[in-house]
Amino acid sequence: MNTLRSLEWLRPVLFLLALLVAWQLAVFLHPHQLMPGPWKTAHGIADLFPHGLIARYVVASVFRVTWGFFLAVLVAIPLGLVIGWCQRFELAVNPILQILRPISPLAWIPIAILWFGVGDMAAIFLIFIGCFLPLLLAVIDAVRAVPAVYINAGRNFGLKPVALMRRVLYPAIVPRLMTGLRITLGIAWLVVVAAEMIAVNSGLGFLIVDARNAGNRYDLVVAGMVIIGVVGLLLDYGVRSLERTSSLRWGFEEKR
Amino acid sequence: MIRASADSFTGDAMPRASAAGKLRVENLGVAFQREGATLPVLDDVNLSVRDGEFVCLLGPSGCGKSTLLNAMAGFLQPTSGQVLVDGEVVRGPDPRRIFVFQERGVFPWLTVAGNIGFGLGKLSREERAKRVQHYVQMVGLQGFEKSYPHELSGGMKQRVEVARALAVNPDVLFLDEPFGALDSITRMVMRSELLRIWEAERKTILFVTHDIDEAVQLADRVVVISARPGRIQQIVDVDLQHPRDISSPRYLKLRDGILSQIGLAHRI
């Protein structure tokens, strides 16, 4: 039993090693390609650390994501509660939501620069745009899935609409909201890299374009990609543990 | 014929008696619109319930008894007629009249104490804690105050809902098949618990069930409802003292009377 478990843990590690070997081998067979191998990439990461650049860039990216994400959360949750609750309101805003939805947040880059210039605000705005709609739609869906008995019980105890939203609707959607937040934070992390490639002069996205422009340092490009993956994974892990504690407390996991 | 039998029991024909009614249903009709067609669910229902009375609404599934209860509680606007409580027309739900759903109505994000205190927002902290503790004890959930609903059994969740309803001190309780999802032993226990609470608090109770035995064990009067559209078929006075002997000849006679009224033979 114990040996089997340790084997299971070993499997992804072995697979990763195999991939790294294949990558190194491919680079070795085509020496004139600019694409770095895993060894050179590791060197690239090591190169970035001493300057403190990497820490600065990670902080810059996380800062933008945090602001854009929290602004979106702050606006989307109350608005989603109202729209999901009031059917007439939903009918009014639904067409515009459906038109805005398929527009990639990256399409907003020129407008972001027009309004905010090159800088943090433009990137934060883009992340806000990227998070806001998916989160709003998630909240609206979650409100609609709230069982009518909870709402009826709340009304029965004399709750007026605002109190009903705060004391019944909002807590009732939290488990679904957690899933929405996790997906949205993932989107924010995708958007920040793209935004930083164009709209700012710092951050992990900027690192990637900068490394390419400043003499085709593809080792740094791939190093940047790896760091983006790792930080993204850590962010996801953070929200996941939040999700777990809340669903454990409410026992929603059991019911699924 | 139907009107006549209903009136003879409720005394609706005499204004004096109806004025004394806690809750009155007058010529109530409910119809739903389905795919352009009008589907009558309740037709010309008349009923008068006294203060502190325990009334069971009995009928087969789909007969409209839940719809009737929802209309009485103000969750549903009747198509015709009206419901009056203390002479006032019901226009919506009200904390003076609490609806107890099956245990589904318990809020999963609140503890037992949080659920029971849900309707007590206007009280001071100490006052609320005292009231919560009183009703925790009444329904026998001591030691579970900090538990979340998912940690409780179905019967315990049902107790939480009853306690939450009683805590706001309502005049009327509406119970919609409250014990329907419980196993038969728990159901028996919950029935005697409910009777004990009712005898202590003397709320007016309207209790929907499709279980004839349950109705005859609990109610002062059993309102038998026929299906499609729902009409009051008969109102049966259950003239038995609590605690009721469920093998006494009178109990069996009342039960069998309702069985044949519904059109069921006494054999399976």
Please give the ipTM for the structure prediction. 0.83
Confidence of residue A18 (pLDDT cuts 50, 70, 90): very high
Distances (CA, A) of A53 to A140, A193, A200, A244: 41, 16, 15, 34
- Number of domains comprising chain B: 1
Query: Which residue among B104, B109, B119 sits closest to A171, beta carbon to beta carbon?
Result: B109
Kindly state whether residue B145 falls inside one of the protein's structural domains. Answer: no
Contacts of A167 in chain B (CB under 8 A): 118
* CATH number of the domain to which B12 belongs: 3.40.50.300
Nearest to A149 among B73, B98, B105 (CB): B105
Is position B245 within any domain?
A: yes
Of B94, B105, B108, the CB nearest to A251: B108
Is A254's CB within 8 Å of B148's CB? no
| Residue pair B57/B69 in contact by the 8 Å Cβ criterion | yes
Residue B153 structure tokens: 């059994």
pLDDT tens by residue, B102-147: 768 899 999 999 999 999 988 889 999 999 998 898 888 889 999 9
pLDDT digits (tens, 9 = 90+) for B167-193: 898 999 999 988 887 888 888 888 888
Q: How far is CA B211 from CA B4, B61, B88, B181, B185, in A?
A: 25, 10, 32, 12, 14
Q: Beta B88-89 vs B80-85: how paired, if at all? A: antiparallel
- The answer on pLDDT for B229 being more than 90 is no
- With respect to residue B225, please indicate whether it lies within any of the assigned structural domains: yes
Contact A255 B150 (CB under 8 A): yes
Whether A147 and chain B come into contact, CB under 8 Å, resolves to: yes
Q: Give residue A254's pLDDT.
A: 42
Domain presence at residue B179: no
Interface touch B107/A171, C-beta < 8 Å:
yes
On chain A, the residues whose CB falls within 8 A of the CB of B103 are: none
Closest CA to B162 of B129, B198, B124: B198
* Contact yes or no for A147 and B104 at CB 8 A: yes
Cβ distance of B93 and A156 shorter than 8 Å: yes
Residue B159 lies in a domain: no
Give the phi and the psi of residue A50 in degrees, each rounded to 5.
-60, -30
Q: What is the pLDDT of residue A256?
A: 35
Q: What residue numbers bound the domain in which B243 lies?
A: 2-96+212-262
Phi-psi region at B3: left, alpha or beta (left = phi > 0; alpha = psi -120 to 50): alpha
Residue B195 lies in a domain: no
Q: What is the pLDDT at residue A4? A: 63
Exposure of A19 by Cβ count < 10 A (0-12 exposed, 13-18 middle, 19+ buried)? Answer: exposed
> pLDDT for A24-51, tens place per residue?
999 888 887 778 888 888 888 888 887 7
On whether any CB of chain B is under 8 Å from the CB of A166, the answer is no
Place of tokens 């992390």: A189
Report the candidate in A189, A98, A202, A188 with the shortest Cα–Cα distance to residue A140: A98
Q: Which residues in chain B touch residue A155, judged by CB atoms under 8 angstroms apart?
A: 75, 92-93
Task: Report the C-alpha gap between A46 and A62 in whole angstroms.
Answer: 21
Instruction: Output phi, psi for B244, to 5 deg.
Output: -90, 140
Q: How far apart are CA A131 and CA A235, in angstroms?
A: 15
> Which residues, numbered 232 to 251 in chain A, qualify as contacts with chain B under a Cβ-Cβ cut-off of 8 Å?
249-251
| A255: contact with B, CB 8 A cutoff | yes
Q: Do A149 and B101 touch (CB under 8 A)?
A: yes
Does residue A208 surpass a pLDDT of 80? yes
Superfamily grouping for domain A36-255: MetI-like (1.10.3720.10)
Q: How confident is the model at residue A255 (pLDDT cuts 50, 70, 90)?
A: very low
Distance from the B177 Cα atom to the nearest Cα atom in chain A, whole angstroms: 14
**Predicted local confidence at residue B7, as pLDDT:** 39
Q: In terms of CA atoms, which chain A residue is nearest residue B74? A: A156
Tell me what the pLDDT averaged over chain A comes to. Answer: 87
Q: B149 contacts in A (CB within 8 Å)?
A: 251
Chain A residues close to B151, C-beta within 8 Å? 251
**Domain locations in chain A?**
36-255
Q: How far is B40 from chain A (nearest CA, A)?
A: 23
In chain B, what residues touch A247 (CB-CB under 8 Å)? none
Least reliable range by pLDDT among A94-108, B145-159, B179-193, B212-226:
B179-193
Considering only CB atoms, which residues of chain B are within 8 Å of chain A? 73, 75, 92-95, 97-99, 101, 104-105, 107-110, 118-119, 148-151, 168
> If you average pLDDT over residues A64-68, what whole number do you get?
94
Q: How far is A227 from chain B (nearest CA, A)?
A: 38
pLDDT at A67 over 80: yes
CB contact under 8 A, B108 and A250: yes
In a domain, B207, yes or no: no
Residue B236 covered by a domain: yes
Cβ atoms within 10 Å of B195's Cβ, excluding its own: 17
pLDDT digits (tens, 9 = 90+) for B32-80: 888 888 888 888 899 999 998 999 999 888 788 889 999 999 999 999 9
Smallest CA–CA distance, residue B2 to chain A, in Å, is 33
**Cβ separation B108–A254 shorter than 8 A:** no
Under DSSP, the state recorded for B104 is G
Helix axes A2-29, A38-48, angle to 10 degrees: 100
